[in-house]
Amino acid sequence: MTRVGILGANGRMGQVLTRLVTEASDLTLAAAVVREGSELQDRGGELPVLTDARAAARQSDVLIDFTLPAGLSAHLDAAVDTDTPIVIGSTGLDAAGLAAVDAAALRIPLVYAANYSSGVTLLRRLAALTAAALDEDFDVEILEAHHRNKQDAPSGTALALGESVATGRGVSLAEQAVYTREGITGARERGSIGFQTLRGGDIVGEHTVLFAGDGERVELTHRASSRETFARGALRAGRWLIGQAPGRYDMEDVLGLKD
What is the DSSP-derived secondary structure letter of residue 218? E
> Is 258 annotated in the active site?
no
Residue of 180, 185, 205, 183 whose CA lies nearest to 195: 180
DSSP-derived 3-state class of residue 173: helix
Q: Cβ(151)–Cβ(106) under 8 Å?
A: no
Residue of 135, 196, 133 whose CA lies nearest to 161: 196
Please report the sign of the dihedral spanned by the C-alpha atoms of residue 68, residue 71, residue 76, residue 82: negative
Provide the terminal-to-terminal Cα distance of the chain, rounded to the nearest Å: 31
> Is 222 annotated in the active site?
no
- Active-site option among 75, 146, 207, 222: 146
- Residue 10's H or E segment, with its range, is none
Q: How far apart are CA 42 and CA 74, in angstroms?
A: 24
Q: Active-site residues: which are they?
A: 146, 150
